Amino acid sequence: MSATKITNAPAAFSAIAGAINNHADLIKPLKAGKGIQIAEDGEKTLVSSFITQATINNQILPQISYPFKVFLDDEATPNANIIAESRVYTSLGTSATTITNLTTAFTLASNTYVWLQFTVSSLAVTAISRQTGTAWPSLVVTSGSPAAQTQFNVPIGKVTASKPTAPGFEFTVSGTSYHFEQLLFSHLLVEARLSSTTATIYAFPWSGA
């Protein structure tokens, strides 16, 4: 199967179409396999994939990376891990806060959930750790009267039924295919928020420093 070229495009996109066609012959033909599904309907070839690795002129292109990316560390177990270049900032500065267990491998099962747990005291983060479980914890945790925040949790990703087109990766447990769906793609910055009538803090996507 050769790469399909664009034969009809609006005038405003002619330059883009031309550039794509110029490179079409360089693309190594795709074959059905792990993470790639191919269906043919007449002259149209449909490719459905969340591609994690591609080649041009038989050269392997680097996989796309991003903060808090979960990757398959050991396919046989299966074990997963998170890249080290993942940062949480508690203020607009250049110093990131330590995340316990960030790069410690963990085993994937059919119901694995992965998140960051933030311990809070007097509206300040005192500890951050990577956690796993079989369901999401409460996003914001408070205690006492009047209520005061003691914790908050940020989802990283979860295991779902097999879905090769979703962000993340496919893996198997005892011969059954599952998918780890990636939910977090950015460094985080902790900011103050007002949840109902309780003052809280939470971490939101930030480009980092």
Residue 182 is predicted with a pLDDT of: 98
- The predicted-structure confidence for 81-114, as pLDDT tens digits, reads as follows 999 999 999 998 889 999 999 999 999 999 999 9
Q: How confident is the model at residue 13 (pLDDT cuts 50, 70, 90)?
A: low
CA pair distance 114, 131, nearest whole angstrom: 6
pLDDT more than 90, % of the chain = 62
What confidence score (pLDDT) does residue 165 get?
93
Same domain? For 26 and 54 the reply is yes
Residue 5 is assigned to a structural domain of this protein: no
Range scoring the smallest mean pLDDT among 13-22, 70-79, 115-124, 175-184: 13-22
65 lies in some domain: no
- Are residue 49 and residue 74 in the same domain, yes or no? no
Tokens of 180: 């780890």
pLDDT recorded at residue 7? 72
Residue-wise pLDDT tens digits, 133-190: 999 999 999 999 989 999 999 999 999 999 999 999 999 999 999 999 999 999 999 9
- 153 and 87 in a single domain? The answer is yes
Q: Are residues 96 and 118 in the same domain?
A: yes
Residues 6+ apart with CB under 8 A from 31: 1, 38
Burial class, 167, CB count within 10 angstroms (exposed 0-12 / middle 13-18 / buried 19+): middle
Same domain, 95 and 187: yes
Whether residues 111 and 182 share a domain: the answer is: yes
Q: Are residues 202 and 119 in the same domain?
A: yes
Q: What is the mean pLDDT of the chain?
A: 83
Residue that is last in its domain, among 20, 38, 60: 60
Q: What is the pTM of this model?
A: 0.71
Indicate whether 181 belongs to any domain.
yes
- 75 occurs within a structural domain: yes
* Total number of domains constituting the chain: 2
> 115 and 26 share a domain?
no
Whether residue 141 sits in one domain with residue 75? yes
Q: Are 42 and 85 within one domain? A: no
Q: Count other C-beta atoms under 10 Å from residue 140's C-beta.
A: 19
Inter-residue contact 138 to 153 (CB < 8 Å): yes
Q: In whole angstroms, what is the distance from residue 107 CA to residue 109 CA?
A: 7
Residue ranges of E strands in the chain = 36-41, 44-49, 55-56, 59-60, 70-74, 79-82, 88-89, 106-107, 113-121, 124-133, 140-143, 148-161, 168-173, 176-182, 187-195, 198-206
43: domain range? Answer: 11-60
Task: Name the β-bridge partners of 47.
Answer: 38
Residue 122 lies in a domain: yes
Whether 79 and 175 share a structural domain: yes
The values of phi and psi at residue 98, to 5°, are: -65, 135
Q: What is the pLDDT of residue 209?
A: 79
Q: Is residue 116 part of a domain?
A: yes
Q: Does pLDDT of 36 surpass 90?
A: no
Q: Tell me whether residue 6 is in a domain.
A: no
Report CA-CA distances (Å) from 79 to 82, 87, 104: 11, 22, 10
Per-residue pLDDT, 197: 78
Residue 42 above 70 pLDDT?
A: no
Per the CB < 8 A criterion, the answer to whether 82 and 70 are in contact is yes
In a domain, residue 101? The reply is yes
Are residues 49 and 100 located together in one domain of the fold? Answer: no
Give the end-to-end CA distance of the chain in Å, rounded to a whole number.
44
